Structure 1
Amino acid sequence: MLQYRVYERLKEYDFILASTSPRRYEILKELGIEKIEIIPSDFEENVTKVGKTPQEYVAQTAFGKIDAVRERIASDQRIDNRRTKPIILLGADTIVVNNGKIFEKPKDKCSQLQNLYSFRLNPIVEVITAIYIYKISELGITEAQVHKIVTSYLRFDKKLSDEFLQAYVDSEEGLNAAGGFKIQGIGGLLWTDCQGDYRNVIGLPFKDTFNLLENVLP
């Protein structure tokens, strides 16, 4: 770990990730967060897309997820006051956007293949992550909140054949991922370029997350 004030300050807090994403957990570990507690959100991700930009949609979803965990933490503290440290709570949501359309996790292999065809037709794909970080007192009171929306841009390889795209779908690698691909696996072969934070495509931007922690822990 770097001998730097943010990391020294983090030792004074319980760090909680409001997500069960193993990728986000790994990125936080790479960032130098040594102890991470996971509290999954029970927020029902049913935010309407009607009348919202992709940025508004992902921000509202991320806020709903982290706020559900915040409320649970505050309720637990009122009941038994079991925590002795204040809390840093991090939540995020990531979406894939192509030609103005949000691409969720595909329902099946057929949907996944159609996603890839769409990317080949319109090769610039946006990956947008909304991050929220709360600083919460040991009494469960929210003392500070910071957030940011980060976008990375991928360029799909238009030369990929139908045969290759079908083979990727048959591998089942991206079936449970937003957009239907995982760039950190074989799915990296689908792209020719990434502009912006590569880790953002995986699930959590690296530098921006660090910057937010600096802002909430001055």
Structure 2
Amino acid sequence: MSDTKEPLLSTTTTDDLPPAYETATSTPKRNLPPPPPLPLPTLISLRSKRVILASSSPRRRQIISYLGLPDIEIIPSDFPEDLPHTLQPIEYVLATATQKAESVYTREIVNEEKGEPALILAADTIVVEPKTGAILEKPRSEAHHITMLKSLRDARDHKVFTAIVAMAPLSSARDPGYAVETAIEETNVRFDTEVTDELILAYVRTREGVDKAGGYGMQGLGSILVESIEGSYDNVIGLPLKTTLKIIEKVMARADDEDRLGSDGEGDDEEDHN
């Protein structure tokens, strides 16, 4: 046996290694570069493919960027989001997110210039007032905004639901079709009952919450209205990252399996995709 030991990561280059802990802890935080992307097989594969986020939300764009997918295309859905509020909240939010994903899929699957996408992600977030079960989306006016926030304060607790839909087109599909995975995240938010009408009015007039479900931004000034949360913080912002990563891995694995079955001539009678 040779006394010469091979390095454990003999095929790993210096560029592949994360920063040393000594460097990370000794460098001032303001000068730290962003962390390297997660070296997960699914994410590595997607970095060279078309990935579409079917949302114009800057908050969702920022959250999804943490996965290190460098060229995510932002293509908002043209779905009008006008489903009836008589639906149960979970049915409503999932149906809306699904329609968003399908709307973009229908447009982009025939994009001859860029080619079909490898992954489409869509999400929808709603706030539900527990006492009435009312679905709260974006405020329509200043008066509506004030009423919405007062009702959330007076109810104290409310729930935030986000539905995430991941679609991966199948190259072997006959129609063509796609693999799809969905998930719904639920977070309980408790408002501070001591928030005054004056503070609510002042917050409304900042206009921070005009484009947000429930009329407040948890990641900004809106946090002054909140006493505590139970569950995922980034779900309240609009995209639970951990759950999103899980369904990305699931849908890509499923698309891989179904494509393999199709190329082998098997599974022709199965209806596992739309």
Q: Given the two structures, how large is their TM-score scaled by the length of structure 2?
A: 0.73
SS at match of 1:129: strand
Structure 1: stretches of 5+ with no match in the other structure: none
> Over aligned residue pairs, what C-alpha RMSD do you find?
1.8
Q: 1:26 aligns with which of 46, 54, 62?
A: 62
Q: Deviations over 1:147-199 (max 9, x none)?
A: 11111111000011111111111222112221111111100111011111111
Larger RCO of the pair (alpha carbons < 8 Å, separation 6+): 1
Q: 1:146 aligns with which of 181, 184, 187?
A: 181
Structure 2: stretches of 5+ with no match in the other structure: 1-36, 254-274
**Divergent runs of 4+, >6 A:** none
Q: 1:107 aligns with which of 130, 140, 144?
A: 140
Q: Report how many aligned residue pairs link the two structures.
A: 213
Q: CA deviation at 1:212?
A: 0.6
Higher fraction of strand: 1
Q: Which amino acid is the alignment partner of residue 202 of structure 2?
A: A
Correspondence 1:189 to 2:224? yes
Q: Which amino acid is the alignment partner of residue 158 of structure 1?
A: T
Correspondence 1:211 to 2:242? no
SS at match of 1:75: coil
Query: Quick one: distance in 2 between partners of 1:35 and 1:142?
Result: 24
Structure number with larger C-alpha Rg: 2
Alignment of 1:1-218 (within 5 A): 1-50=37-86, 52-76=87-111, 81-84=112-115, 86-99=117-130, 100-137=133-170, 141-218=176-253
Q: CA deviation at 1:142?
A: 3.2
Q: CA deviation at 1:215?
A: 0.8
SS at match of 1:91: strand
Q: Given the two structures, how large is their TM-score scaled by the length of structure 1?
A: 0.91
